[in-house]
Amino acid sequence: MRPRALLRKALSFINFAAREINCKIVYYGAGLGGKTTNLQVIYQKTAEQQKGKMISLATETERTLFFDFLPALTREWRELRLRIGRRFIEEWNITRHWSLDDPSPFEAVRVLDPAPDYAILDEGKSNLALAFPVFKDVPIVERWAGLIDVTPDAVPVISPVEALPGFYLASGFSGHGFGIGPAAGRLVADLVTGASPIVDPTPFRFERFARGRRSRA
C-alpha cells in the first residue's frame, strides 16, 4: 500500500477545495441513553459558520429514558447509589427492537430473580441494631432480592394504549403494587369493560410519557 493511500485510510479526509475536514466518529452507547440528545445540544451550541446540516434518523416513537428519569434523579440524588454491575451490562445488551418472528427479550427472561446485595443488607442490619439494640444478635435466616418496575414519575401506568386498540397496561407500580393492587385491578376492570372508573384514570394514562409530554412531577 502506498504511503498516500495509507494516510487517507488512517486519518480524516481533508478537502482542500472546500476547506473542509471530513471525519467519522463512532458514538457508542446503550439504546435510549441520550446519544442523539447530546449531539443535538452540541449542534445547537456550535456557531452557524462552523457547522453544516445535521440529519437525524430518530423516529417519533424513539424516546430517551435517561432524560425521563432525570428529574427524579436530581431530587433523590442523595438517596440513590449508582452502581455498574453484571446486571447493568446484561440489560445494556438487551435488544430494543425485534421482528415478530424473533424471540422477544421477555421470552428469553421469564423470571427475574436477582441475587441479594449482601453489603447493603449487612449495612441495613447494622443500622437496625443501632436504632433498636434488641436486634443486635438476631440471626439472619434468609436473604432475597427483587426488581421494581419504576416509571419516571413513580406513578403506575393503568391505561389503554391508543396505538393498540384493545390493549391495556397495568404496570410500573414502583414498589407499591402490593398495597394498591386491589384498587388497581378494579380500575383496570372498569377500563376494559367500559364501566364508570372507580377513580379518575387521567394521572395513570400511558400517553403522559409520549414525546413532548414528558412528566415533570
Q: Which long-range contacts (CB under 8 A, 24 or more apart) does 98-107 make?
A: none
- Could you read off the pLDDT of 37-90 as tens digits, one per residue? 777 788 888 888 777 777 665 554 455 566 666 776 777 777 666 666 676 777
Q: Does residue 212 sit in the same domain as residue 157?
A: yes
Q: Does residue 62 sit in the same domain as residue 164?
A: no
Highest mean pLDDT among 92-101, 105-114, 120-129: 120-129
Evaluate whether 159 touches 169 at the Cβ level (below 8 Å): yes
Q: Does residue 66 sit in the same domain as residue 134?
A: no
Q: Does residue 62 sit in the same domain as residue 155?
A: no
Q: Name the region of 172 (left: φ>0; alpha: ψ -120 to 50; beta: rest).
A: left
Rounded CA separation 3/15 (Å)? 18
**Residues spanned by the domain of 200:** 147-217
For residue 201, CA distances in Å to 41, 108, 178, 185 come to 36, 33, 19, 12
- Name the domain count of the chain: 3
Q: Does residue 77 sit in the same domain as residue 20?
A: yes
Higher pLDDT, 210 or 203: 203
Q: Does residue 4 sit in the same domain as residue 90?
A: yes
Evaluate whether 155 touches 177 at the Cβ level (below 8 Å): no
Q: Does residue 177 sit in the same domain as residue 122?
A: no
The kind and range of the H/E element at 15 are strand 13-15
Q: Does residue 101 sit in the same domain as residue 134?
A: no
Where a domain ends, among 86, 109, 132?
109
Q: Does residue 17 sit in the same domain as residue 80?
A: yes
Evaluate whether 151 touches 169 at the Cβ level (below 8 Å): no
Q: Does residue 29 sit in the same domain as residue 63?
A: yes
Beta carbons within 10 angstroms of residue 188's beta carbon: 19
